[in-house]
Structure 1
Amino acid sequence: MTGHLTITDEDATRVITLRRPEKKNALTREMYRAMSEAIDSAQGDPSIRCIVITGGPGVFTAGNDLEDFLKDGTSNTDTPRASDAVKFLYSLAHNTKPIVACVDGIAIGIGTTMLLHCDYVVASSAATFSTPFIHLGLVPEGASSLLMPRAMGHQRAFATLVMGRPLNAEDARSAGFVNAVVAPGHTEAEARKVAREICALPAEAVAISRKLLKTPPEDLTRRIDQESHLFGERMRSTEAVAAFKAFFARKKG
């Protein structure tokens, strides 16, 4: 387990908490591996009926650590996009347990696209959602190019994924991928309440019904692979490397 992530099992719920506040919970490869393991190990455990993913109060996640992106984009190896992130996405695609996410603050990049794999999303009124892939010279990931148009229609998905327009909590609820909006600081309590409600339902009926509702895992992983291949190519593009360098130059300035 990484120091930037905590996993706790409470009653029938596994709670995955991102804990890297100094970097706005930006995701490292170690964090991806830990999240993947937490999800995978819950699959065969009948005592775990639901999973909650939270970033704690004030932030969800700033997405992938851009320093990793810059290293990958400028390295001399032919390694494709970080396999740890893809493994995490595979874990989400193959997951059979209901996932409740609670977002209190920013959800950037994969911080937004992972929510499309969740079953119930609680956001605070301070939450914001953005997918600035194209601004970084990249392409969408996490099967978001498949799931987001299905959730909110092509036009809104285009504005979000291609134009990079951010959404606030009410926008996200109107778009269909946030269920409830609560006051800042109250997302986790609401998420745990929802998890208890899910855990009280007949487990087999929930699992079968969820499977009927979800996009088949093979469709998700096929799109994840397609996006990941293009993402890896784009990370080495002149556009992307220039965008990463400009980002870090602005931070230093």
Structure 2
Amino acid sequence: MSDHILTQLDGGVLTVTLARPDKKNAITQAMYSALAAATRQARTDDAVRVILFQGQGDSFSAGNDIADFIAIGGGQETQLVDAPVFQFLRALADLDKPAVAAVRGRAVGIGLTLLLHCDMVVVAEDALLSAPFVNLALAPEAASSLLLPAVLGHQRAFEVFALGEPIDGRTAMAWGLANRAVAADQVDATAAELAAKLAARAPNSIRKTKALMRDAEAMWALMQREGEAFGSQMRSPEAMEAFMAFSQKRKPDFAKAG
């Protein structure tokens, strides 16, 4: 488990908090292991009716911890699909109980794609959501190559992936990524209110409704295909250039990439 993932069960709502505010809640592999355990608990514990994801501090999540992922990329013998991040993704694919997210500040990479697995999302109006996989010479994950176009349409989704530019909370709601866009200081309360309403609904009816709306096995199969593309890109020269540029706070130079 990780000290940077906090859980609390109250009134049927399991609140899972990303608690690494000094790093904008960038997610390490240890944090992914804890997130996977919490998500599995949400599915198997009858006391849990709803899982609520939120972040400490001024950001939901800055995405994957880059140093952590560079270390994985250097491990040629380890398959990415065996990494803790994929334990979490499998748990998300299997989750048949409602998931709610409360998003303030930045939601980057997995910080955005996690929202596609949530059934209700509350964003701050000034939140900034982005999926800069191509900026890092990577590929989409978390079944987002299917789920994001399903929500936004191909053109908008491709722009989000290919350009990596953020959209604000108002745009996220207008495009269908969120249920509510509210002032930043109202995000947690609004999300908690929605989670409580869901927890009061007939639990088996809710689970069957969610299960009918998604194909967990197909989603997991896609996550594995994405993982192959993501893993091959992580070990590519262009990704190494992107990671180096990120650490040196400069723009990457892909002029020689082909």
Q: TM-score, normalised by structure 1?
A: 0.95
Instruction: State the match for 1:115 in structure 2.
Output: 115
Distance 1:193 1:76, change over 3 A: closer
Partner of 2:254: none
Alpha carbon RMSD of aligned pairs, Å? 1.3
Question: Residue 45 of structure 1 aligns with which residue?
Answer: 45
Partner-residue secondary structure (3-state), 1:116: helix
Q: 3-state SS of the aligned residue for 1:223? A: helix
d(CA) in 2 for partners of 1:76, 1:92: 25
Q: Which amino acid aligns with 2:242?
A: A
On the 8 A contact 1:57/1:185 being kept in 2, the answer is no
Distance in 2 separating the partners of 1:46 and 1:177:
29
Alignment partner, residue 169 of structure 2: 169
Q: Percent identity?
A: 39
Q: Separation in 1 of the partners of 2:76 and 2:203?
A: 46
Partners of 2:98 and 2:61 in 1: CA distance: 20
Q: Distance in 1 between matches of 2:17 and 2:71?
A: 26
Residue 237 (structure 1) aligned with residue 236 (structure 2): yes
| Alpha-carbon distance in 2 for matches of 1:11, 1:237 | 47
The equivalent residue for 1:105 is 105
Structure 2 unaligned blocks of 5 or more: 251-258
Q: Distance in 1 between matches of 2:57 and 2:83?
A: 29
Residues 56, 188 of structure 1: 8 Å contact kept: no
Q: Secondary structure at the match of 1:250?
A: coil
**Equivalent AA in structure 2 for residue 219 of structure 1:** A
Q: In the aligned structure 2, how far is the partner of 1:104 from the partner of 1:7?
A: 19
Partner of 2:223: 224
- Structure 1 residues 76, 153: CA separation in 2 closer, same or farther (over 3 Å shift)? closer
Q: CA deviation digits over 1:73-109, x for unaligned, max 9? A: 3x25332226111110111000011000000110000
Counterpart residue type for residue 45 of structure 1: D
What does the per-residue CA deviation read over 1:40-67, in whole Å, with 9 as the maximum and x for residues that have no partner?
0222222110010000342100000000
2:7 — aligned with what?
Answer: 7
> Number of residues paired by the alignment?
249
Q: What aligned pairs does 1:146-225 form with structure 2 within 5 A after superposition? A: 146-213=146-213, 215-225=214-224
**Is 1:21 paired with 2:13?**
no
Residues 76 and 128 of structure 1, relative CA distance in 2, 3 Å threshold: closer
> 1: CA distance between counterparts of 2:19 and 2:126?
19
Distance 1:181 1:76 in 2: 41
Distance 1:247 1:158 in 2: 22
Counterpart amino acid of residue 114 in structure 1: L
**Paired position in structure 2 for 1:139:** 139
Distance 1:76 1:102 in 2: 34
2:29–2:85 CA contact under 8 A, matched in 1: yes
Contact 2:21 2:57 in 1 (8 A): no
Report SS of the residue matched to 1:177: coil
Task: Answer whether contact 1:56 1:104 (CA < 8 A) is retained.
Answer: no
Q: What runs of 5+ residues in structure 1 fail to find an aligned partner?
A: none
Runs ≥4 in structure 1, deviation > 3 angstroms? Answer: none
Q: Deviations over 1:127-179 (max 9, x none)?
A: 11001100111111110001011111101100111221211101111111111
**d(CA) in 2 for partners of 1:8 and 1:143?**
27
**Counterpart AA for 2:197:** E
- 30-39 vs 202-211, which deviates more? 202-211
Deviates further, 218-227 or 157-166: 157-166
SS of structure 1 residue aligned to 2:184: coil
Q: What code does the residue aligned with 1:40 have?
A: R
In 2, Cα distance between equivalents of 1:22 and 1:57: 8
1:58–1:185 contact (8 Å) kept in structure 2: no
Q: Is the 8 A contact 1:57 1:184 kept in 2?
A: no
